[in-house]
């Protein structure tokens, strides 16, 4: 088989591929047209959500700090309080 017989197939196939790529690329560009116009509004929405998230994280952090302080206080009170069994006098049992 001679390669010159495949030349028209390569040219026609390449042309269809090239035209298809151009059409697909223009379709993709058309899909994304106008997204830049909506971007500032969407960015403002994201900024508002981030501010709310930051405020919530500050509240959670302060709550955790208070919880940690309460835990330390409870642990200190439990460790300083003597056991009732140790503090009560023991009754001695003597043989008769």
Q: pLDDT tens digits for 39-48?
A: 677 788 889 9
Buried b or exposed e, range 18-40, using 16+ CB within 10 angstroms: eeeeeeeeeeeeeeeeeeeeeee
Structural domain count, the chain: 1
Both structure tokens of 81: 């309080």
* pLDDT score, position 48: 92
Average pLDDT score, the chain: 84
84: in domain: no
Supply the range of the domain harboring residue 68: 40-79
Percent of the chain with pLDDT over 90: 44
89: in domain: no
* pLDDT score, position 90: 66
């Amino acid at each position: 088989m001679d390669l010159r017989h495949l030349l028209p197939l390569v040219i026609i196939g390449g042309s269809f591929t090239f035209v298809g790529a151009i059409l697909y690329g223009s379709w993709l560009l058309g899909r994304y047209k106008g997204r830049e116009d909506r971007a500032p509004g969407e960015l403002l929405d994201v900024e508002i959500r981030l501010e709310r998230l930051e405020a919530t994280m500050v509240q959670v952090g302060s709550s955790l700090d208070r919880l940690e302080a309460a835990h330390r206080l409870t642990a200190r009170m439990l460790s300083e309080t003597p056991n009732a069994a140790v503090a009560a006098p023991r009754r001695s049992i003597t043989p008769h």
